[in-house]
Chains A and B, each alone.
Chain A
Amino acid sequence: MKYSLILISLLYMTACAAQEKKAVPEVPVNKAETIAVPNNTTINVTYKDEKKSKMCPAKTQHPMTKQKKDVLSIHEPLIISVVGQGVAPVNTTSPAQAYALAKRAATADAYRLIAEKVKGVSVDGQDLIKNMMVKRSTVRTSVQAMVRNANIVETTFKDGLCEVEMEITLSHSDFAQ
């Protein structure tokens, strides 16, 4: 009985070792789920870049995670610079009003870009296929954030297009809790 238990445990360990050797060079495979309905089809695609191992959960790491490094270091602040664009509405009474409105739109765009860079964007996609043809392809992106202490560096207004260069300095203490 004892020997059989030892033998089983040895076999399990060798199996784990063999699987680890296999898992390291293996590139994760993207999975796509497709549902085919003859007349009207909606396809939701979900990509999974992680392949989980049921037998040996430990030591199976994605190749990219090995090189993971903190973006924000303690001693060095990070400066993020973006350029937002805005256009004046058609029915403006004066060039000054057009400039002011375009600048406001460009500022909002710059804020959005900063939020996208710092916090990230959530992306959702949907394709409608009818009679084996793509009828509608929709991609929705959204971002929600709170931005404080962003500074406008430069503003240019040319041919109805206003460009606002905005900068934000991120330090480690802003995020430390």
Chain B
Amino acid sequence: MRSRDGNHSFTLRLCTIIILSSFALNAGEYLISYKYIVKNDVLFNESLDISKSMKKCRGIPAQTLILPANEQNNFVKLISHHRQEFIDYIHQLGLDIRSKDTTTNNQINSTTIITLKTTCFKVDFNDNFVKISHLKQP
């Protein structure tokens, strides 16, 4: 069976569509925010929030982290397994720092809040590895 333009067969076109859609299904976009609070040089609170993006993110993939893939292609589980590596990667992207020290009658109270604002990441699941890319706003 020949297509209307006469160059590509119908089977080839169908295979291309299936392959491309399978690639698209394996790639996902996630919104991640991270925050930790240090009070008087002791870690007070730490939170890492991960959520699948409900709409397409805009941006160019910038810095990339490659992690070994797990069996289920579950991003949250993957991050929980490689938490420290992912947090080190987040630190490289740039974090917002807010620090307040109050000294009252020579007694100091310090609070430092470090935040990564909600950022979109593109995640590509492959056979052996997962590629996480930070989407930089154009």
Question: Interface residues, chain A, CB within 8 Å of chain B?
Answer: 85-89, 100-102, 104-109, 111-112, 115-116, 136-150
Please, which residue of chain B has its CB at the minimum distance from the CB of A149?
B92
B133 at the interface (CB under 8 A from A): no
| Per-residue A-contact encoding for B23-54, CB less than 8 Å = 1, 0 else | 00000000000001010011100100000000
Please, which residue of chain A has its CB at the minimum distance from the CB of B98?
A144
Please, which residue of chain B has its CB at the minimum distance from the CB of A119?
B97
Task: Give, as a whole number of angstroms, the nearest-CB distance from B97 to chain A.
Answer: 5
Q: Is A108 touching B103 in the complex (CB atoms < 8 A)?
A: no
Q: Is B43 touching A140 in the complex (CB atoms < 8 A)?
A: no
Task: Give, as a whole number of angstroms, the nearest-CB distance from A157 to chain B.
Answer: 14
Please, which residue of chain A has its CB at the minimum distance from the CB of B103?
A139
Q: Is B99 touching A143 in the complex (CB atoms < 8 A)?
A: yes
Summarize B's interface: helix, strand, loop or mixed.
Answer: strand
Given contacts A112-B97, A139-B103, 11 further A-B contacts (CB under 8 A): A87-B42, A88-B42, A101-B42, A104-B38, A111-B95, A140-B100, A140-B103, A142-B99, A144-B96, A147-B97, A148-B92
Q: Is B43 touching A105 in the complex (CB atoms < 8 A)?
A: yes
Q: In this complex, which of A88, A100, A141, A149 has the most chain B Cβ atoms within 10 angstroms of its Cβ?
A: A141
Q: Is A112 touching B99 in the complex (CB atoms < 8 A)?
A: yes
Q: In this complex, which of A105, A106, A144, A146 has the most chain B Cβ atoms within 10 angstroms of its Cβ?
A: A105
Residues in chain B near residue A138, CB distance under 8 A: 102-104
Task: Give, as a whole number of angstroms, the nearest-CB distance from A118 to chain B.
Answer: 10
With contact pairs A86-B42, A87-B42, A150-B91 given, residues A104 and B36 touching in the complex (Cβ less than 8 Å):
yes
Report which of A101, A139, A141, A146 forms a contact with B97, defined as CB distance below 8 A. A146
Residues in chain A near residue B112, CB distance under 8 A: 108-109, 111-112
Task: Give, as a whole number of angstroms, the nearest-CB distance from A142 to chain B.
Answer: 5
Report which of A86, A111, A142 forms a contact with B43, defined as CB distance below 8 A. A86
Q: Is A148 touching B103 in the complex (CB atoms < 8 A)?
A: no
Chain B positions 78-121 with a Cβ under 8 Å from a chain A Cβ = 84, 91-106, 112, 114
A112 to B92, CA, bound (A): 15
With contact pairs A87-B41, A104-B38 given, residues A111 and B104 touching in the complex (Cβ less than 8 Å):
no
Q: Is B97 touching A85 in the complex (CB atoms < 8 A)?
A: no
Q: Is A144 touching B43 in the complex (CB atoms < 8 A)?
A: no
Please, which residue of chain A has its CB at the minimum distance from the CB of B37?
A108
Residues in chain A near residue B91, CB distance under 8 A: 107, 150
Q: Is B94 touching A104 in the complex (CB atoms < 8 A)?
A: no
Q: Is A86 touching B38 in the complex (CB atoms < 8 A)?
A: yes
A148 to B104, CA, bound (A): 32
Q: Is A141 touching B95 in the complex (CB atoms < 8 A)?
A: no
Report which of B42, B92, B98, B103 forms a contact with A89, defined as CB distance below 8 A. B42
